[in-house]
Copies of this chain bind each other. A is one copy, B any other.
Amino acid sequence: MDRDHLPRFTAAAVQAAPVYLDPAATVDKAVALIAEAAAGGAELVVFPEVFVPGYPYWNWTMNPVQGSPWFERLQRTSVDVPGPHVDTLRAAARRHGVVLVIGVNERAAHSLGVLYNTLLTIGPDGELLGVHRKLVPTWAEKLTWTGGDGSSLVVHDTPVGPLGALACGENTNTLARFALLAQGELVHASCYIALPVAPADYDMADAIAVRTAAHSFEGKVFSVVACSTVSPEIVDAIAGDDEELRKQFTRPRSALSGIFGPDGRPVTEPLVDDEGIVYGEIDLARCIQPKQMHDIVGHYNRFDVFRLEVDNRPRPPVTFTAPTAAPTAPAAPEEDV
C-alpha cells in the first residue's frame, strides 16, 4: 500500500444462495454477480462462506449417520485449488478488475477424506493471492471439514489496501483476528452462511453484526461482511417434506451482509435475509483518526507484556527432505498460495 495515497473505493457484499451442490452453475452465478457488482462500481467483491457449492446443512438437521451419504456428495462437488473452477473465478476477477473474496469447499489433494472450508482471495489481475482454510469448523461442521493450519493467516497487499479474511466463527476468535490486525489489516472480509437451523434463541443477524462491529471498532478497520441465503432449492434438498424443518429454514434474521466502518457502525444499511448486493464507500483515511486514541496494534498495546506467536508453518502429514513428485503430494507451502 502506498501510504501517501490511501485507497478510496466502493465495496460490494454479495448476499446470495449458491446453486446448491452444483459447482459449475454456482461459479457461473458468482461470475454474473461479480459482473453486476463491478457494474455497480465495486472494486472489492466479497461472497459468502463456502458459496461454491453450498453449505452442509445436513450436519445440523440430521444425525451424523443420516447425514453421512451427503459427505460423499459434497466431496464430489467440491473444488480443486488450483483447478478449473478457480480458473473461471480468476478470469472473472481479471475481466472486471476487482478484488474478489469467495468461499469454497476445497478438497485436498492428498486425501479423499479432507475437505476444507476455504476462502479464496483473488487479485484484480486474476492472481490467486490467498487460500485461507478455516482453522476450526464450528461444532456440527466438524462432521465435514478439516481445520486448516496457520499458514494462510495472511493479510494481502491489494489495490484496495491490506486485506484479510476470516470465515464465520473465526470472527469470534480473538487471536485469529489479532493476527490479521497485527499485519496491518485495514479491510476485513467476513464470510458467513445463513444459519436458520441454529439453537432457538440464536439471532444470527445480530450475531454477525456484533462481531463485525466489534472487529471494526477494536481494530479501526473497515469490514465487508457477506452472508449466504437459503434458497427454496436448498430447503427442498435438505428439508424435503419435513414441514417443521421447512418452517425452520424460513426463520427470519438468519443472514446479514453489509459494510462497517472503523467506528463500528454500518456504512450503509445492512441487508438482512434477502438476496442482493450491498454497496458501501470505503475511505481508508478514515482509519487514521480513531487510531490516534486506541491503536491496539500500536501505541495502545503493550508488546512488552503480550507476545503473540503465530505458528504459520504448513502442517503436512509427512515432510520429505528432498522434493518428491507424488501424484497427490501433501499440502506444501507452495500450494497454499
Contact = CB atoms under 8 A, between A and B. Distances in A.
A91 interface: no
29 contacts: A1-B328, A3-B107, A61-B63, A71-B292, A75-B288, A113-B288, A113-B290, A113-B292, A138-B294, A149-B304, A154-B326, A155-B327, A155-B328, A162-B326, A162-B328, A172-B218, A172-B296, A174-B178, A175-B301, A182-B330, A206-B264, A214-B214, A306-B308, A307-B319, A309-B309, A310-B318, A310-B319, A311-B320, A322-B333
A147 interface: yes
A80 B292 CA distance: 18
A62 interface: yes
Q: Report how many copies the assembly holds.
A: 6
Given A61-B63, A111-B297, A183-B326, A317 B303 contact: yes
Given A172-B296, A297-B330, 5 more contacts: A72-B289, A113-B300, A146-B299, A174-B296, A176-B306
B330 A295 contact: no
A95 interface: no
Interface SS of chain A: helix, strand, loop or mixed?
A: loop
A210 B217 contact: yes
Contacts of A139: 64, 142-143, 292-294
Interface residues of A, number: 121
Nearest to A168: B294
Interface string A154-172: 1111100010000001001
